[in-house]
């Protein structure tokens, strides 16, 4: 219940920020490309996304590396990360949305999609 409400709120924020970035760029909802995706803390968020996906879907893919990242400040920070993963033999690419709020120590996988 609480989870669903949270996710819905996130999705609304997500689409709103996407909208404003595309249409007027006013306010805090602006996606910014991440210039350095080798930073350990971004890599950590990418690994978290893969780990959460494995937990939720009983999968066992492995994080390989980040390919691309964008972030937007809302309630906490949202990371749109394109991640290269592998199942041990075949590499795949996914994109994920992670919400991270260090102040309240919340980190959540919001979306996980295969490319």
Ligand X SMILES: *[C@@H]1O[C@H](CO)[C@@H](O)[C@H](O)[C@H]1NC(C)=O
Going by C-alpha positions, the residue among 94, 105, 92, 109 that lies closest to residue 52 is 109
Residue 65, CB half-sphere, CA atoms under 13 Å: how many?
5
Query: Measured between alpha carbons, how far is 68 from 15 in angstroms, rounded to an integer?
Result: 19
Residue 46 tokens, joined = 């990418």
Q: Binding to ligand X by residue 6, rule CB under 6 A?
A: no
Closest separation in Å from C-beta 1 to ligand X:
26
For 95, phi and psi rounded to 5 degrees?
A: -125, 145
Is 52 near ligand X (CB under 6 A)? no
Which region among 1-9, 48-56, 82-90, 103-111 touches ligand X (by CB under 6 A)?
Answer: 82-90
Least Cβ distance, residue 3 to ligand X (angstroms): 21
**Measured from the CB atom, is 6 or 21 closer to ligand X?**
21
Q: How many residues bind ligand X (CB under 6 A)?
A: 15
Q: 42-52: string of b/e by CB count within 10 Å (b at 16+)?
A: bbebbebbbeb
Asked if residue 3 binds ligand X (CB under 6 A), the reply is no
Residue 67 or 101 having the CB closest to ligand X: 67
Binding site for ligand X (CB under 6 A): 18, 31, 36, 38-40, 68, 70, 80, 82, 87-90, 95
């Amino acid at each position: 219940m609480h989870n669903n409400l949270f996710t819905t709120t996130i999705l609304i924020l997500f689409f709103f920020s996407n909208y404003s970035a595309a249409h007027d760029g006013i306010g805090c909802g602006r996606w910014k490309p991440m210039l350095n995706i080798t930073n350990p803390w971004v890599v950590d968020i990418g690994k978290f996304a893969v780990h959460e996906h494995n937990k939720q879907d009983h999968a066992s893919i492995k994080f390989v590396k980040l390919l691309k990242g964008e972030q937007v400040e809302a309630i906490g920070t949202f990371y749109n990360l394109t991640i290269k993963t592998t199942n041990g033999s075949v590499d795949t690419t996914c994109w994920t949305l992670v919400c991270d709020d260090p102040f309240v120590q919340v980190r959540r996988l919001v979306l996980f999609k295969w490319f």
